[in-house]
Amino acid sequence: MSKTNPKVEWYFAKGKKWQEEFVALRTIALGCGLDEELKWGHPCYMLNGSNVVLMHGFKDYCAYLFFKGALLKDPKGILVQQTANVQAARQVRFTSLSEIIKLKATLKAYIKEAMQVEKKGLKVEYKKIKDFKIPEEFQTKLEESPALKKAFYALTPGRQRGYIFYFSQAKQSQTREARVEKYMEQILKGKGLDD
């Protein structure tokens, strides 16, 4: 069993919702021989410096997030893709400690498989930007402005995806147009959505 990391202790001591569940999930991850770190404010379990599984809580559930969950076999059908845009990560969600206890052997097996994915150096095949549908409102602006088009395609693929997802999330054309207008200057400056 791996050792607990003192930097992570505060997460388990802050007495919030899902504490018993978090302790059980921690014990399972450490029991698989993973190293414990604090990343993005959450306990993260790693193998040789690579992220394997992260623990986090929400209002209605707590979860294990497998960073390369899309590569796991999932024979029990418990992995959840959070949104249609999430390509690699998958969650296993829990609403009670009894669910975790019941799935303990399965969770260990999934973690062991995720560790093998890391040991083998397997990578998730991400969609290329050309595979994503650019909203009509943004496509029109790209066609109208060669400078905007050049600036957009000069961005990193992750920044391009960020804009495409953000613009696409709006249900109404008017909202999509407003979002595009708001961020045109930022794109022209070579910045991402959150820069």
Q: What is the pTM of this model?
A: 0.74
Q: Is the pLDDT of residue 157 over 70?
A: yes
Q: Is the pLDDT of residue 33 over 90?
A: yes
Domain borders along the chain are: 6-119, 129-188
Q: Is the pLDDT of residue 178 over 70?
A: yes
Residue 166's nearest CA partner among 181, 179, 152 is 179
**CA triple 134-144-171, angle to 5 deg:** 35
3-state secondary structure of 56: strand
CATH code for 6-119?
3.90.1150
Q: What is the pLDDT of residues 48-67, one digit of tens each?
A: 999 999 999 999 999 999 99
How would residue 15 be classed by pLDDT, with cut points 50, 70 and 90?
low
**Which run of H or E residues covers position 59?**
none
Higher pLDDT, 27 or 128: 27
Higher pLDDT, 63 or 169: 63
Residue 183's nearest CA partner among 130, 137, 143 is 137
The burial class, CB within 10 Å (0-12 / 13-18 / 19+), for 100 is buried
